[in-house]
Structure 1
Amino acid sequence: MSIAFMAVATSSMGQSLNKMNWLNEPQQWEIKDGKTLVMDVPAKTDFWRISHYGFTVDDGPFYYATYGGEFEAKVKITGNYVTTFDQMGLMLRIDHENWIKAGVEYVDGKQNVSAVVTHRTSDWSVVQLPDAPRSIWIKAVRRLDAVEIFFSRDDKEYIMMRTCWLQDNCPVMVGLMG
């Protein structure tokens, strides 16, 4: 089973979706109007390392551009969540052992905002949403060695969901994951 993933990517750097790269490119995807990525996410793909579940997977689709220094990245995500752990959102990735993913994840029949921070092993924070919004915005702000992660229902009022460490002074792949 796959989920449809639609994201409108915007950032303070004005990244063009047409000039990004794939890690684990899905079979079906397209860019519409130069600003919307639509992809079918293959079933049973994910990003996770070791902790709690005892396995490592690094095979989910990730469409990214590389940045250094401080930045702000924001995505609007709209999905069809049907299976436990269906997810999509924003990813910041240094390498396979150091990354952050934040977005919507479907757990116990409910949509949740979630963040996974990985430095050799993954952790997971999750907050259940009281309803199932059609779309949600996720924003990450990198300042020196920290990343602040926010979500919004309307792209106006943002609520912080996590602050975490991410190594400074190194390139970071920033983009859309499912």
Structure 2
Amino acid sequence: MQMEWYNEPRRWAGDHRQLQVTVEPDTDYWRVTHYNFIRDSGPFCFTTVSGDFEANVKISGAWQELYHQAGLMIRTDAANWIKTGIEYVDGVQQVSAVVTREVSDWSVVPRQDNPAAIWIKLLRKGDYVQISYSFDQAHFALLRLAYFTPQVSVQIGLVAAAPGSLPFEALFEDFTVVPVS
């Protein structure tokens, strides 16, 4: 699979099958809502696709500071994207989705067990994106169904951010993108 970087990190190794990233501090993705700022600075390793597809990845990380995050992103441009995965908030991993269409919104499912890994599945079909997650790669739960502009090419890939002052290590495994009908 052909991958490229947006905001390439200084330290990374691997490919779409296994990608280790050192996420630099002061990186994030957000637009306006609540915080009144725009951030478009996290590392994003992606491929460009058209049509309907399903993307899957296993994510783990050394979460240690507020808002450390890693997951999948689907993106058309800086003002239209969805990121989903784990976000570390108040010492707890949160299954997270941020949907951005000019302004960002955020939804979370708190976890008290801080699982070692999470599997994220993102289905793009027609005018929507369906986000599901699993902790065993067998049983997936729906996190979010969101509108996304249909019939345009998109960037889909691996995203991470560390908005605070500490870097962290994120590991992405078995990233796949397959067409669906």
TM normalised by structure 1 equals: 0.88
Structure-1 separation of matches of 2:26 and 2:66: 10
1:88 to 43, 59, 70: 70
Matched residue, 2:108: 126
Structure-2 separation of matches of 1:130 and 1:82: 15
Matched residue, 2:117: 135
Structure-2 separation of matches of 1:143 and 1:129: 28
Matched residue, 1:25: 8
Q: Cα offset for 1:108? A: 0.6
2:45 to 51, 63, 68: 63
Structure 1 runs of 4+ off > 3 angstroms? none
Structure-2 separation of matches of 1:110 and 1:130: 6
Say which SS state the counterpart of residue 5 (structure 2) adopts. strand
Q: Cα offset for 1:130? A: 2.2
> What are the Cα deviations for residues 55-107 of structure 1, in whole angstroms up to 9, with x where unaligned?
00000000000011100000100100000000000000010000000000000
1:39 to 11, 16, 21: 21
Structure-1 separation of matches of 2:128 and 2:111: 26
Q: Cα offset for 1:116? A: 0.1
1:75 to 38, 57, 75: 57
Structure-1 separation of matches of 2:90 and 2:42: 21
Structure-2 separation of matches of 1:96 and 1:66: 15
Matched residue, 2:83: 101
- The aligned amino acid for 2:117 is S
Q: Cα offset for 1:35? A: 1.2
> What are the Cα deviations for residues 85-139 of structure 1, in whole angstroms up to 9, with x where unaligned?
0000000001000000000000011001000000000000011012111110011
Say which SS state the counterpart of residue 25 (structure 1) adopts. coil
- The aligned amino acid for 2:79 is E
Contiguous gaps of at least 5 residues in structure 1: 1-15
Contiguous gaps of at least 5 residues in structure 2: 161-181
> What are the Cα deviations for residues 6-57 of structure 1, in whole angstroms up to 9, with x where unaligned?
xxxxxxxxxx3xx20000000000106x610001001120000001100000
Matched residue, 2:168: none
1:168 to 146, 150, 153: 150
Matched residue, 1:7: none
Q: Percent identity over the alignment?
A: 46
Matched residue, 1:114: 96
- The aligned amino acid for 1:26 is P
